[in-house]
Amino acid sequence: MVKKRTVKSKQSKTYIPSSQESETYADSYNNGIIQEDLEQIDKYIYQEEMNFFKQEFDKREIEKTSVPEDSIPICADVRNYDFLQLAKIHQEVKGKLFDVIMMDPPWQLSGANPTRGVTISYESLPDPSIRQLPIPKLQNQGLIFIWTINAKYRMSLQLLDCWGYKYVDEVVWVKKTCNNKIAKSHGYWLQHAKETCLVGVKGDLDMSDKEIPDIIFSLRRGQSQKPEEVYQMIEELVPNGSYLEIFGRRNNLRAGWITIGNEI
Ligand SMILES: C[S@@+](CC[C@H](N)C(=O)[O-])C[C@H]1O[C@@H](n2cnc3c(N)ncnc32)[C@H](O)[C@@H]1O
């Protein structure tokens, strides 16, 4: 401990007799050095902690992003990807087009502050670029799942229509925290705690024997990252199907699925 070498005056004010000045300043100097040392140690501990968390985070990211066996990742810009060739090859290999298509479009929002201050970490696409996707050439019978947002709800219904699907249902993902509470996020009118995925059908399909609920209640994940449970739901609905995901990321790669996106 550093002793404070001061003498109290009658008025109980602190003053330093000139004879002790140099000693006092030397002590405060030492005190300063100790303080600096402590700060250095704190910084060091903080840095070590940060390194530890970063290593743990990187480890998990590597696990998350490793490519599962039997998944087919395709890194491409959908605006110039040859979907017709994909359909042709798929037809040749599997003898059919896709049973299920799922997409989570990078919706482009208009307005002054469309994302209300939330930075979106990927490129977005204007509606016409999404509409131009040759979806009708990829499926002649089956289901399509389109993740949508409030501002694009009508647009998503129009897409279903223009691609030749009947809107039949929607899946709602209610996000929860690790404490099993509803995970609220931002929103203009109401705080959003859910995401919606529209379901469209093309052709004659009979799913009446399935008893699959339309709600997923699972942990909130990284930005825009959709829940694992949606794949389980789809695979239960259409077992052993051919599955295509458009606008997927590495975290979406899954055995039995072809995944296309520009971040893969
Ligand atoms: C909403 S995110 C998809 C999130 C994903 N469903 C998940 O669970 O992590 C949309 C993705 O589409 C990608 N994207 C944007 N423009 C694209 C383009 N022209 N071609 C292909 N992918 C594109 C974005 O980079 C982003 O990865």
DSSP label at 214?
S
DSSP label at 125?
B
* Tokens matching residue 52: 């530890």
* Residue 7: band (very low, low, confident or very high) from pLDDT cuts 50, 70, 90: very low
Mutate to test the pocket of ligand 1, among 80, 173, 249 (most ligand atoms within 8 A of CB): 249
Please tell me if the CB atom of residue 247 comes closer than 6 angstroms to any atom of ligand 1.
yes
How many C-beta atoms lie closer than 10 Å to residue 110's C-beta? 8
Q: Give residues with Cβ within 8 angstroms of 73, minimum separation 6.
A: 67, 250, 253, 259, 264
CA of 247 to the centre of ligand 1 (A): 4
Residue linked to tokens 């700060």:
39
Cα(262)–Cα(264) distance, integer angstroms: 6
Do the Cβ atoms of 225 and 175 come closer than 8 Å? no
Residue-wise pLDDT tens digits, 87-145 = 999 999 999 999 999 999 999 998 655 555 566 789 999 999 999 999 999 999 999 99
* Residue 183: band (very low, low, confident or very high) from pLDDT cuts 50, 70, 90: very high
* Tokens matching residue 13: 């004010």
Cα(220)–Cα(211) distance, integer angstroms: 25
Whether 45 shows a pLDDT value over 90: the answer reads no
Question: DSSP 3-state assignment of 249?
Answer: coil
Residue nearest to atom 9 of ligand 1 (CA): 225
**Domain layout of the chain by residue ranges:** 32-66, 70-261
Q: What dotted CATH number matches 70-261?
A: 3.40.50.150
Q: What is the pLDDT of residue 8?
A: 44
- Looking at the chain, the number of H-run helices and the number of E-run strands are 5, 10
Residue-wise pLDDT tens digits, 12-39 = 445 555 555 555 555 555 667 778 888 8
Angle at CA of residue 21, ends 19 and 27, nearest 5°:
130
Cα(25)–Cα(168) distance, integer angstroms: 81
Q: What is the pLDDT of residue 63?
A: 60
Q: What value does the CA radius of gyration of the chain take, rounded to a whole number of Å?
A: 29
Give residue 167's identity as a one-letter amino acid code: Y
Half-sphere exposure of 225 (CA within 13 A, CB side): 15
Closest CA to 222 of 98, 100, 57: 57
CA of 162 to the centre of ligand 1 (A): 22
Mutate to test the pocket of ligand 1, among 102, 147, 247 (most ligand atoms within 8 A of CB): 247
Q: What is the pLDDT of residue 206?
A: 84
Mutate to test the pocket of ligand 1, among 77, 107, 122 (most ligand atoms within 8 A of CB): 122
Cα(186)–Cα(258) distance, integer angstroms: 32
Give residue 74's identity as a one-letter amino acid code: I
